[in-house]
Chains A and B, each alone.
Chain A
Amino acid sequence: MNKRLSTGGRIDRNKPLSFRFNGNQLQGLQGDTIASALLANGIRTLNRSFKYHRPRGVMSAGVEETNALLTASDGNGNIPVVRTTVRELSDGHEIRSPTGFPSVNFDLGRVLDFTHKIWTAGFYNKVFKWPNWHWYEGTVRRLAGLGKVPDGKDRNKYFHHNLHCDVLIVGAGPAGLAAALSLINSGARVLLAEQDCELGGSLLAHSTQIDSLDSDLWINQTRSTLEDAANVSIMTSSTVSGYYDHNVLTIADRSTAGVKRFWKIRAKEVLLTTGAVEQPLVFENNDRPGIMLAAAAMEYVNRYAVMPAEAMVVATNNDSAYQAAFALHDNGVRVPAVVDARAIVADEIAREANRRSIPIMAGSVVLDTVGTMGLKGISIGKLAPDAESTINPIGTIACQGLAISGGFSPDVALYSQAGGKLRYDDDLACFVPQECRQHVTIAGAADGKFSLAEALKQGTRAGSEAANSAGFACSPADVATSTINTYRLEAIRITPVGDTSRQWVDFMHDVTVADIELAVRENIVSVEHLKRYTTTGMSADQGKTSNLNALTLLAKLTNRAIEEVGTTTFRPQFMPVSLGAIAGQRHGGFYAPARLLPAHDWHLDHGAVFENYGTWKRPEYYTTNGHDRDAAIAGEVLATRQSVGLLDGSPIGKVEIKGPDAGEFLNRIYVNNVLTLKPGRVRYGIMLSENGIVIDDGVFSRLGDDHYLVNPTSAHADLITNWLEKWHQCEWPDLDLIISPVTGQWAVATVAGPRSRELLQEIESDIDFSAEALPHMSMVAGSFLDVPARVQRVSYSGEMSFEIGVPATQGQRVIEALMSSGGDRIKLIGIEALGTLRTEKGYLHIGGDTDGMTNALDIGFGAIVTKKQTDFIGKRSLLRAEDQRGDRRQLVGIEPLDDNEDLKPGAHFVTPSDQGSRSQGIVTSACFSPTLQRTIGLGLLESGFERKGETLTVFDDGRNFDVRITDPVFYDPSGEKMNA
């Protein structure tokens, strides 16, 4: 069944490619698409429709394809929904029909076609309510879907690229090429993007002449001219898929095998020469394999040298399909007739047809077709001259192919995405561009200029105009000429005689004229409702060949003008883009790139088990001699309590505030009084949102008269820095200061424990670590191990504690020195041990022990708030009655009555009520304290401040047990250890 012509086409007969279709070994040629190769092998039925499982064949030669969406593998998994009409064939390609049980040629699912009268539009809304939809859903879901999720690992590479240009031309058809030629020497940076692997657009389907050159030659010549032009870049196999705000467009670039590039283009001016999509004719059984769009039939013979059928009738309502008829005939396809809905066909066209002995049946339309697995014949009807609904059957024609043309519809998807408005053109019977707020122009077939001569002319002019708008002097080039200069459409596309439930409007989703009639009968008359009710245009082709016919029908059935009916909204993506390309490198290793400690590798070598804390990777604990997690953490806690623990505290936020007004600024930020802090001293403070909610805590230090260091929590460091900047720049720009985030510049070693001073004093340093010189909540700068250091005496563990800050590059050296000097006295500790230490001490973890409802008063800052006379962020909110209510959730300590109870964060305090239980608050932190040898916790409890000593019930995952409410400080309440 070889349908390949012996000569012609843009395929390379010397480069055969083997491929398999549903298991059968076949051969194609370099230059084929999958679809052209299948047609060349005589394959007619290659898929089944979505709903009725009707046999379907190739319908188009482009992106509008609605049937030939198959599963294809070229060694990177089975990819579903491959548009075989645009996808180039490659050697070893494995192609499968995604539908058909047991096979695409014999499908039991066809029973849905035989019972199609039941499965009308929206039938599922009317049934499947008992017992419930979920009961039926599994069956329906299995029937849907256009293929399976790809298997195996994705071996594609995905990259993002960015590009700026003065003029972006979208589409390298005749108008786009003419425009690009105009722009040579304009000085404007021009990008020409074409979705096909070759330039030429619709010209690739034609065999005609431009400027008295064969069109193939003209394309080649134009291509070299453009390639030689320094200001023009050409991208092929690159689909412009999205048109976003501010003239930013995206391109999916498939030009390199195994690599998918996603481009973000910022264009001063955009010229859309996106062409037009041929629209099908609607008649009974218009979906059989062998029926295809006329321009596609022409493209298969001219570009791929494939005969779509031995005998192919052409049915049309305009001049363009005659090009197809002539091309088919000239390449050896028998054309038994051109069925032309127009009563009168122009003389020059009739002459050409006559010369080829192709009969023209004017004023006629196709009525019906036969041939289940492939077209066998058609019946023709004659339109009565003045009543289009009257059609008299006049005969039948045997044929295996039918090329249909209902005229073209501009591809305005990108134009509409850009916000462009459309208007309906009665003469062209389609929507054409009107106006757009973005910097965009549209030309050629995309602007309704459907004859080649017009497209060339308009493209030439539009190119130079785009350059002018982008600020470049440019006059139009000479217009290339063509003899194809007529279109002459008559708006007869739909002839709903006979059984309208067998007349397809949306092929992929099996929407028929009857479905639209039913929708209108049920008062579904908005075009958006129609789309959603019948699912017209919602399939993977997004209605490229169905929307226009659907809304034409809708207008007719509701006696409205088509303009009034309007269109549905065009949205990105114009052509579906692989998710991998959109994500680019932003997942895998580059998803929220981890921040590593300066001494990350050293910790790893010393047994650190890392965990994510925000974006940081930090040691959760250290494995020592095979201890399990809990034992390791307990060991680290006890080492800190008894001797020295060393924590890598580098991620702690560090923001320097410097300037004469630094103190005043921070005094407006913190709940605490900042102005009384003396140089060299440190204070613990909290920050509130303007709504009074606690957003961060930590210490702040006064380094000098006009110099402060703020330590936000590591998780909030960036957030707080930005927040401080905003207050300064937007609210108090008069305050003289600068804010400088220096978190990453410093590594911090936190040395905590009763023997920490002793240990530090052994290390070479000019810092006096004595209690007198460096008491708790003070700081000093000096040299530590020859390294400039800032030492803060602050404690989150409740022990005597020193935070030694050194330049980040020196962090590892300091840790190593401390470890080697400390010997048995010191132990590395991770975040979990720190968590236990601070819980024992009753210190808060903001965001853990507080939530987005916790205000300053709820965590015991009432006295400080009352005492501070001046304003600070959030102060006014704390004055609201709601914020001062005594029954708010307040910070408490918790201990289970039975020590064996597994008290965990996330449990709730509950009280039974009439309607069941009610939460009175939550357990926010809990652990088994290795120090105290019992379970302890912190929580937020309604009226918690007044309820110390009370016994309450806690609920956790179906379990209830009793706890006692205590003071939150379990360890060293007098602070003796910390202040030592």
Chain B
Amino acid sequence: MKHRIGLAEAVRLRSPGDDNIVFRYGTVLLKGYSFLSLARQALTGHKGWPVIWRSPEVKKSYDVIIIGAGGHGLATAYYLAKNHAVKNIAVLEKGWLGGGNTGRNTQVTRSNYYWPQSAAFFDHSLKLYEGLGRSLNFNVMLSQRGILNLAHNAYELEGMRRWANAIKINAIDAEVLTPIDIKKLVPLIDLDCRFPVHGGFIQRRGGISRHDAVAWGYARAASALGVDIIQQCEVTGFNTASGRVTGVNTTRGTIGADKISFAVAGHTSHLAKMAGFRVPVTSMQLQAMVSEPIKPCLDTVVVSTAIHMYVSQSDRGELVIGGGADVYNSYAQRGGIPVLQENVAALLELFPVFSRLRLMRQWAGITDITPDTTPLMGLTPVQNLYISGGWGTGGYKAIPAGGDTMAYTIANDKPHPLIEDFGLERFKSGALIDEGAASGVAH
């Protein structure tokens, strides 16, 4: 606890020449960004903005080290500092913050989950998202434009009614739609495609947000609360003493810690192996792609499981397209041709009018897929080492709740009630929470 950092020091570490103190701690908002401040800064050539996050030196030890400065790691650090009064926290990042799956996903935010445990957790997340821009004082561009799932035959529609009913029982919004409703909502859709649209359901509170802004908003808030975000610092090993973790070796030296948590999508198996245990995770590439930007033509997120495709339109105008994973183990963030073609063909099956638009860019993230597509959260076989992983293709929407519940878990050395069933033990007992299997739809 020697290196506890206080408010004054946190402020001092910000860029020199910044004279107006803008951060305030506690439960109230992080101040500083507003129309007024923007207008004021415009008059002075924006010379007075403080750093969004600090780039501090690494200390010898911390109370808590979080490995991975993605959305989950940063949110965990933020909530640890904000809600659990832990001040001496570092987030270690091998690359640049928000550069993994946080910066590669298709930005979908929703809580239309089937099983009560999933629904409770993800709706907590959506609720946090709903206030996130204001509580972080950073616009994360949450656009609750609705997420529409399509049913392409009578059985699929039955499955969706089952799913929508479950969501409603879980006290979350869901609405079953007819093909006519769908056409009104999405005029460009071709309902009479190879597998005609029989209906669907929508979660109107679902939608998209801006992934970078979420990472940066948390980074800024965590940094202001004294969290050290150390980029370009790769963990190469864990130090343990009598079954208890004591620190990490990194490319920037050895760092001590009382508690360590890791949230490293795409590298979960790798870190677990380093710590000496196995996790039920397979890493695969999940592709996403964008078209050239065009004027607004699609106001909802459209998901079709039967034909493996989802699409939304970003605020910049690009169609953001995703679909199935490249189904073999991979740590390449590239994506191949077969899935590209499948995704695009599926899109055109539903939206033939898009055929003359052009694909601008394709990329991939590495998704850590668990056997039941439910995350791995909580304690590990190593004492004081915690895990948040196995997010599959859906970690982005879980960032606020993931951070909140992991912060609790780390602070109390016991799983947050919302994630009690998400632990590694379920694979031994067989008590899986198979969201995909039950709702017929993968995350």
The interface of chain A, by Cβ under 8 A from chain B, is 76-77, 79-81, 117-118, 120, 123-130, 132-134, 137-138, 140-142, 144-151, 153-154, 156, 158, 242, 244-245, 248, 250, 264, 417, 501, 514, 518, 521-526, 528-529, 532-533, 538-540, 542, 569, 571-573, 576-580, 582-584, 586-588, 591-592, 594, 611-613, 691-693, 848, 851-853, 877, 880-883, 904-908, 910, 915-919, 922, 955-958
Q: How far is the CA of A905 from the CA of B151 in the complex (A)?
A: 14
Contacts of A514 in B (CB 8 A): 45-46
Selected from B37, B169, B353, the residue in CB contact (under 8 A) with A910 is B169
Closest to A141 in B: B296
Q: How far is the CA of A151 from the CA of B315 in the complex (A)?
A: 21
The proximity string for B residues 156-174 relative to A, scoring 1 for CB distances below 8 Å and 0 otherwise, is 0011111111101101000
Q: How far is the CA of A825 from the CA of B432 in the complex (A)?
A: 51
Considering residues A140, A529, A579, which has the most beta carbons from chain B within 10 angstroms of its beta carbon? Answer: A579
Interface presence of B383 (CB below 8 A)? no
Q: How far is the CA of A79 from the CA of B356 in the complex (A)?
A: 7
Q: How far is the CA of A692 from the CA of B317 in the complex (A)?
A: 47
The reply to whether B139 and A248 form a contact with Cβ atoms under 8 Å apart is no
A27 CB to nearest B CB, Å? 26
The reply to whether A124 and B37 form a contact with Cβ atoms under 8 Å apart is no
Contacts of A533 in B (CB 8 A): 212, 216
Selected from B52, B98, B164, B348, the residue in CB contact (under 8 A) with A523 is B52
A911 CB to nearest B CB, Å? 10
The reply to whether B139 and A129 form a contact with Cβ atoms under 8 Å apart is yes
- 8 A-B pairs with C-beta separation under 8 A: A125-B138, A125-B217, A144-B293, A540-B360, A573-B359, A579-B348, A611-B153, A904-B161
Closest to A580 in B: B355
Interface presence of B430 (CB below 8 A)? yes
Contacts of B96 in A (CB 8 A): 526, 528-529
Among listed B81-89, B332-340, B389-397, interface-contacting one: B332-340
B20 CB to nearest A CB, Å? 14
Interface presence of B51 (CB below 8 A)? yes
The reply to whether A587 and B352 form a contact with Cβ atoms under 8 Å apart is yes
Interface presence of B184 (CB below 8 A)? no
Closest to B350 in A: A587
The reply to whether B169 and A908 form a contact with Cβ atoms under 8 Å apart is yes
Interface presence of B42 (CB below 8 A)? yes
The reply to whether A579 and B33 form a contact with Cβ atoms under 8 Å apart is no
Contacts of B33 in A (CB 8 A): 125-127, 129
Interface presence of B103 (CB below 8 A)? yes
The reply to whether A245 and B334 form a contact with Cβ atoms under 8 Å apart is yes
Selected from B46, B169, B212, B349, the residue in CB contact (under 8 A) with A955 is B169
Selected from A117, A158, A264, A576, the residue in CB contact (under 8 A) with B45 is A117
Contacts of B54 in A (CB 8 A): 523
A498 CB to nearest B CB, Å? 12
Q: How far is the CA of A700 from the CA of B93 in the complex (A)?
A: 56
Closest to A155 in B: B356
Q: How far is the CA of A151 from the CA of B357 in the complex (A)?
A: 11
Closest to A527 in B: B96
Contacts of B294 in A (CB 8 A): 80-81, 145-149
Given contacts A569-B363, A882-B430, A957-B164, 10 further A-B contacts (CB under 8 A): A126-B34, A141-B317, A146-B294, A154-B352, A523-B52, A529-B96, A582-B359, A853-B434, A877-B430, A881-B429
With A141-B317, A906-B162: A579-B354 Cβ-Cβ less than 8 Å:
yes
Among listed B188-196, B236-244, B253-261, B266-274, interface-contacting one: B188-196
The reply to whether A248 and B337 form a contact with Cβ atoms under 8 Å apart is yes
The reply to whether B353 and A127 form a contact with Cβ atoms under 8 Å apart is no
Q: How far is the CA of A591 from the CA of B116 in the complex (A)?
A: 36
Interface presence of B213 (CB below 8 A)? yes
Q: Which of B111-163 contact A (CB under 8 A)?
A: 116, 130, 133-134, 137-145, 152-155, 158-163
With A127-B35, A529-B96, A571-B363: A908-B166 Cβ-Cβ less than 8 Å:
yes
With A144-B317, A147-B295: A524-B362 Cβ-Cβ less than 8 Å:
no
Contact-residue bracket for chain B: 35 or more
The reply to whether B42 and A528 form a contact with Cβ atoms under 8 Å apart is no
The reply to whether B355 and A123 form a contact with Cβ atoms under 8 Å apart is no
Contacts of B360 in A (CB 8 A): 540, 542, 573, 576
The reply to whether B344 and A127 form a contact with Cβ atoms under 8 Å apart is no
Q: How far is the CA of A591 from the CA of B340 in the complex (A)?
A: 15
Q: How far is the CA of A126 from the CA of B30 in the complex (A)?
A: 12
The reply to whether A80 and B345 form a contact with Cβ atoms under 8 Å apart is no
A791 CB to nearest B CB, Å? 30
The reply to whether B169 and A521 form a contact with Cβ atoms under 8 Å apart is no
The reply to whether B51 and A523 form a contact with Cβ atoms under 8 Å apart is yes
A221 CB to nearest B CB, Å? 36
A375 CB to nearest B CB, Å? 26
The reply to whether B359 and A579 form a contact with Cβ atoms under 8 Å apart is yes
Contacts of B358 in A (CB 8 A): 81, 573, 576-579
The reply to whether B169 and A916 form a contact with Cβ atoms under 8 Å apart is yes
Selected from A522, A538, A906, A955, the residue in CB contact (under 8 A) with B51 is A522
A596 CB to nearest B CB, Å? 14
The reply to whether B291 and A579 form a contact with Cβ atoms under 8 Å apart is yes
The reply to whether B292 and A580 form a contact with Cβ atoms under 8 Å apart is no
The reply to whether B154 and A133 form a contact with Cβ atoms under 8 Å apart is no
Contacts of A905 in B (CB 8 A): 158, 161-162
Interface presence of B431 (CB below 8 A)? yes
The reply to whether B430 and A576 form a contact with Cβ atoms under 8 Å apart is no
Interface presence of B386 (CB below 8 A)? no
Q: How far is the CA of A749 from the CA of B52 in the complex (A)?
A: 72
Q: How far is the CA of A437 from the CA of B232 in the complex (A)?
A: 25
Contacts of B188 in A (CB 8 A): 149
Q: How far is the CA of A156 from the CA of B352 in the complex (A)?
A: 12
With A154-B356, A523-B52: A573-B153 Cβ-Cβ less than 8 Å:
no
Selected from A80, A134, A529, the residue in CB contact (under 8 A) with B145 is A134
Closest to B212 in A: A532
With A123-B38, A583-B341, A584-B341: A149-B133 Cβ-Cβ less than 8 Å:
no
B40 CB to nearest A CB, Å? 10
Q: How far is the CA of A140 from the CA of B348 in the complex (A)?
A: 27
The proximity string for B residues 16-55 relative to A, scoring 1 for CB distances below 8 Å and 0 otherwise, is 0000000000000000011101110011011101111111
Q: How far is the CA of A134 from the CA of B191 in the complex (A)?
A: 28
The proximity string for B residues 281-306 relative to A, scoring 1 for CB distances below 8 Å and 0 otherwise, is 00000000001111111000000000
With A134-B145, A853-B437: A919-B344 Cβ-Cβ less than 8 Å:
no
Contacts of A128 in B (CB 8 A): 139, 141
Contacts of A522 in B (CB 8 A): 49-52
Contacts of B154 in A (CB 8 A): 611
B353 CB to nearest A CB, Å? 6
The reply to whether A919 and B357 form a contact with Cβ atoms under 8 Å apart is no
Contacts of A922 in B (CB 8 A): 162
The proximity string for B residues 303-321 relative to A, scoring 1 for CB distances below 8 Å and 0 otherwise, is 0000100000101110000
B167 CB to nearest A CB, Å? 10
Contacts of A588 in B (CB 8 A): 194, 349, 352
Interface presence of B423 (CB below 8 A)? no
Selected from A126, A134, A151, A955, the residue in CB contact (under 8 A) with B165 is A955
Contacts of A248 in B (CB 8 A): 337
Selected from A151, A244, A529, A692, the residue in CB contact (under 8 A) with B337 is A244
A71 CB to nearest B CB, Å? 10
Contacts of A592 in B (CB 8 A): 194-195, 307
Interface presence of B249 (CB below 8 A)? no
The reply to whether B292 and A540 form a contact with Cβ atoms under 8 Å apart is yes
The reply to whether A133 and B133 form a contact with Cβ atoms under 8 Å apart is yes
Q: How far is the CA of A127 from the CA of B139 in the complex (A)?
A: 6
Contacts of A542 in B (CB 8 A): 360-361
Contacts of B250 in A (CB 8 A): none
Selected from B293, B340, B429, B431, the residue in CB contact (under 8 A) with A146 is B293
Q: How far is the CA of A501 from the CA of B53 in the complex (A)?
A: 24
Contacts of B64 in A (CB 8 A): none
The reply to whether B315 and A501 form a contact with Cβ atoms under 8 Å apart is no
With A127-B33, A141-B317, A853-B432: A572-B362 Cβ-Cβ less than 8 Å:
yes
The reply to whether A120 and B42 form a contact with Cβ atoms under 8 Å apart is yes
